[in-house]
Amino acid sequence: GLPPDVLNLYPHQLSGGMRQRVAIALATIFQPRLIIADEPTTALDVVVQRGVLQMLKEIQAESGNTVLLVTHDLAVHANVADRVGIMYAGRIVEEAPTQVIFTAPRHPYTQHLIRSLPMIGDKSVKESLSGAPPNLANPPSGCRFHPRCPLAIDRCRTETPAMVHLSHQHRVACHLVTEGVE
């Protein structure tokens, strides 16, 4: 919640966390069925992040609406989301329940992303992807990840993979997975 005196303040007089709470309050006042929260915790300290995320979870639980959370912070997804969609170069490459994404990812990009996460006590050097992200004004043909994918096959270079259901709740767009070459 917000203290009543916030009503008399200007945005520049509020902390980052207070501004986020005001934005969430304004976005939810008419009880929308869908809330799109684009990077709601960016530039906030961990304690304030937790408060903002808790507020979103409470609003969702009370109103039964859907919260579409857009963030680069996978820790936020792990703690808040029921489902996760992983995007690369503007396309969803994998979508599944959060637990599945973190424990059994199938797309090579998702696998790399999860392996790159820091773990407490793990002092190993994390491997980065070779190459650079594609220019979205002129994306590569086929799978957009193929120039950086260590497992790419010829088909990846020429044909955009379709999103395929691996199970009722797990979808992936990867020729290697659909061909069983993994």
The pLDDT tens digits of the residues spanning 127-147 come to: 788 899 999 999 999 999 999
Residue 160 confidence (pLDDT): 97
Instruction: Evaluate whether residue 40 is within a structural domain.
Output: yes
Select the more confidently predicted residue: 55 or 126: 55
Q: What sections of the chain are H helices per DSSP? A: 16-28, 46-63, 74-80, 98-103, 108-115, 154-158, 175-179
The pLDDT tens digits of the residues spanning 146-155 come to: 999 999 999 9
Q: What is the pTM of this model?
A: 0.83
Task: Please give the residue range of the domain that contains residue 113.
Answer: 82-117+137-182
Task: State whether 70 and 86 are in the same domain.
Answer: no
Instruction: Evaluate whether residue 164 is within a structural domain.
Output: yes
Task: State whether 73 and 153 are in the same domain.
Answer: no
Task: State whether 68 and 155 are in the same domain.
Answer: no
Residue 101 confidence (pLDDT): 96
Q: What is the CATH number of the domain that holds 56?
A: 3.40.50.300
Instruction: Evaluate whether residue 123 is within a structural domain.
Output: no
Domain count along the chain: 2
The pLDDT tens digits of the residues spanning 14-38 come to: 888 888 888 888 888 888 999 998 9
Task: State whether 4 and 69 are in the same domain.
Answer: yes
Instruction: Evaluate whether residue 148 is within a structural domain.
Output: yes
Task: State whether 106 and 164 are in the same domain.
Answer: yes
Task: State whether 29 and 51 are in the same domain.
Answer: yes
Task: State whether 141 and 163 are in the same domain.
Answer: yes
Domain end point (choices 81, 99, 128) = 81
> Per-residue pLDDT for 1 more than 80?
no
